[in-house]
Amino acid sequence: MNMVTGHSAPLSKEANMTPRAKRIVGKSIVVTIIAVVATFALSFTARLALQMPIDWLSWVECTFIPILIGMPVSAYIFAQAETIQETCDKLEKSYAALTEAHDRLTFVTSHDPMTGLLSRGEFIARMGRKRDEGECDTLLLVDPDHFSLINDEHGHSKGDEALVRIAKALVYLTRPGDSIGRLGGEEFGVLLRDVRKEQAITIAENIRRLIEVSPMVKGQQEGMKLTVSIGGAAIPPDADAQDVLRTAGRCLFEAKQRGRNRVSFDYEATKLRVVTP
């Protein structure tokens, strides 16, 4: 029993050493062994070259001096290195967490929380991007028909579901390089990058048809139908974003006036700078 007890204490101390302490001690032992071997090699080589005797004191000096000096010095250096590494790891984790928080904040401030689409400010900022000469984007304004009736007759939760349904249709029928935003309560904007009027009309018609034939919500009630009206306007290189929005808004109003559930591009790009009196 005593023998077992006598050997258990060192083992428990070794087992209780932290990984950090084990690394420091292990590296220090390796460095000390190298120092002892190097001291023996240099000292004995010098003594033999100078024809000096190698006595027991030489063995003691070459063994204990490197241990007494090298072990604590190397342990201190490795401990400082571990501390620096731990600090760097913490800083790296803090930077990653800060970057993630910044990305989340940027997304929240630039996107609509309900649909996940761009906010009005971010969408208009993308409309104002610099375009090369001859490059022409197209803006679509998408607005659900009789949306107030959906809210009044079926509740705001159904209205929210309708908006999400429209947002999904817009994402489905546009390209990754296009921009989609929620510009107001129920109005959406689609920025078709480097797409001219003819192709834009086709895309707008596809959006209108998809929303018309898709069930608005699960368990849709009789007579509960969702349609949209779409107004479009070209965005030439030198166009002002607000002028384009006004032109597309007039086209959207024209689509509503003509019976809704339709696409209108009646205002030409040459009228973008005409100010409404």
Active site residues: 186
Q: Which residue has the tokens 């032109």?
A: 247
Q: Sort 265 into a burial class: Cβ within 10 Å, 0-12 / 13-18 / 19+.
A: buried
CA 13/CA 105 separation, integer angstroms = 48
CA 245/CA 108 separation, integer angstroms = 24
CA nearest neighbour of 248 among 140, 173, 143: 140
Q: What are the tokens at 92?
A: 């790296």
Q: What are the tokens at 64?
A: 């204990």
8 Å CB contact between 110 and 118: yes
CA 13/CA 47 separation, integer angstroms = 42
